Structure 1
Amino acid sequence: APGKRYALPGSRILIHQPHIMGGGISGQATDIDIHAREILRMREIINQILAKHTGQKLDKIEKDVERDFIMNATQSKEYGLVDDIIYKHK
């Protein structure tokens, strides 16, 4: 929810494209194609959500998630992923 996304000073935030967990992919070529298209569809949806909620342009998001993109708390705030960094207890 906007205004309620927090990170601690030592946080590391990672964004990346969707991927299949586990070792080898097996199955019929048609089934593999179905799963590949679904992963690509999910990547488009996730990128659009990130762009909407961070204020970053879609092409920047697409470039950034191509590989693991790791940010510290300050970088995450500048990027628009978090709203504030919590430095002490209230």
Structure 2
Amino acid sequence: MDNGKVVDAINCVEIVLTKACGERIEVNVDTNGLLYIDVESDKQCTMNYAEAWKKVPTDQKERLKEMLEGLVNSLDQVLEN
């Protein structure tokens, strides 16, 4: 049934940032799986972190949400210029 919604829910978000120095930061959130963060420099992993999304504390989820919302807002501003 078409209820007019394009997407009912977003269960997975992946953002990859590449800094001017070449460092690559990947954040992947799968609400049915893991919070995964990977940092690479010179094509080598310098840090990674994974935790079951259901075990991530609520305050950490809120901070991650704020960070992702900030990135999206910043992206909109960059694309407008």
Bin the TM-score by the shorter chain. Answer: 0.3 to 0.5
Q: Give the structure with the higher percent helix.
A: 1
**TM-score under structure 1 normalisation?**
0.34
Q: Which structure has the greater CA radius of gyration?
A: 1
- The structure whose RCO (Cα within 8 Å, separation 6+) is larger is 1
Q: Give the structure with the higher percent strand.
A: 2
**TM-score under structure 2 normalisation?**
0.37
